[in-house]
Amino acid sequence: MSTPPRPPVPPGVIGHNRANLTPHYAIFPPVGIMDSLLPGLTGCILRFMTSPRMGAKFAEAMLLVAPGGGSDAARDDGLQHFFYVLSGELEVTVGKKKEVLGPGAFAYCPAGTTYAFGNRGAGEVRALWVKRPYAGVKGIPRPGPKFGHRKDARREDVDGRWRYWLLGTGDMSMDFEMNIMGFGPGTHFHCVETHVMEHGLYMLQGQGLQLLGRDWHEIWEGDFIWMGPYVPQQFYATGWGGAEYLLYKDVNCDVEF
């Protein structure tokens, strides 16, 4: 009896991809980030893109919530939480306030405040979930809960690029910011920047070249980049359309000894 012919070897079978992990930065395309399931979350998949295990001082995950899924009860783990909805509608409760968030909407839960979320719609919800301990300045009152949408955020336009200030701008009670950075085709950040802050960058749309250290990396929609402190960095938009990314940045924190 003859052996049936085997199909051709599919592309990528030997493990080539664009993922890159170094002590100072990381690049992760969405393909290959494995699912995590957590107790107390029903119908939810988390794909952690960065965490303290990698050297970061925050965690960021892609949150997928099936219809009817969500947190089983109100939660308080002592951390701050930020949710940004990419698709679908996510009902988020922070303390005693509840809102339904569609694409482009966000919610902030301060440390020490309960939160809950659920998908009451018919389709899957995709959202970005950032969490970290609070490291605010002593003597300054902690921030309160916040809900908002990118369309209502302050926008700044400079030389073909733009920024939406979503969270934390100029507020000394906040120890991190969330901004949307946008670039028209062929535009770039005005300099190679180096600073004490770390970043979490999620590509919302488009494509570009990202300088990390002395190397350029091509990044696409759905890619995630962690940048540790002092990594030289710059973004250059490529492709036919513009590019946007959601950017986490720790702020208002003194150096640690």
- The CATH number linked to 198 is 2.60.120.10
- Alpha-carbon distance of 30 to 86, in angstroms, equals 14
Q: Cβ of 4: how many Cβ atoms within 10 Å? A: 6
- Asked whether 106 and 148 are in contact (CB, 8 A), the reply is yes
What pLDDT is recorded for position 10?
Answer: 66
What pLDDT is recorded for position 11?
Answer: 64
**Position 209, amino acid:** L
Residue 7 lies in a domain: no
- Asked whether 74 and 116 are in contact (CB, 8 A), the reply is yes
Count structural domains, the chain: 1
- Asked whether 197 and 251 are in contact (CB, 8 A), the reply is yes
End-to-end alpha carbon distance in the chain = 73
Residue 14 lies in a domain: no
Residue 110 burial (10 A CB sphere; 0-12, 13-18, 19+): buried
User: Residue 206 has what DSSP assignment?
Assistant: S
What pLDDT is recorded for position 256?
Answer: 86
- Alpha-carbon distance of 123 to 129, in angstroms, equals 19
Which residue in this structure is represented by tokens 């659920």? 118
What pLDDT is recorded for position 3?
Answer: 74
Residue 233: C-alpha distances to residues 107, 189, 195, 253 (Å) = 28, 9, 9, 21
Residue 6 lies in a domain: no
Residue 66 lies in a domain: yes
Residue 257 lies in a domain: no
Residue 1 lies in a domain: no
pTM, entire model: 0.94
The range of the structural domain enclosing residue 83 comes to 20-250
The DSSP secondary structure of 43-88, one letter per residue, reads EEEEEEEE-GGGT-SSEEEEEEEEEEEEESS-B--S-EEEEEEEES
Residue 107 lies in a domain: yes
Would you write out the chain's pLDDT as a tens digit for each of its 257 residues? 677 777 776 666 677 788 999 999 999 999 989 999 999 999 999 999 999 999 999 999 999 999 999 999 999 999 999 999 999 999 999 999 999 999 999 999 999 999 999 999 999 999 999 999 999 777 899 999 999 999 999 999 999 999 999 998 889 999 999 999 999 999 999 999 999 999 999 999 999 999 999 999 999 999 999 999 999 999 999 989 999 999 999 999 888 89
Which residue in this structure is represented by tokens 């003194």? 254
What pLDDT is recorded for position 138?
Answer: 79
What pLDDT is recorded for position 12?
Answer: 63
User: Residue 175 has what DSSP assignment?
Assistant: S
Residue 11 lies in a domain: no
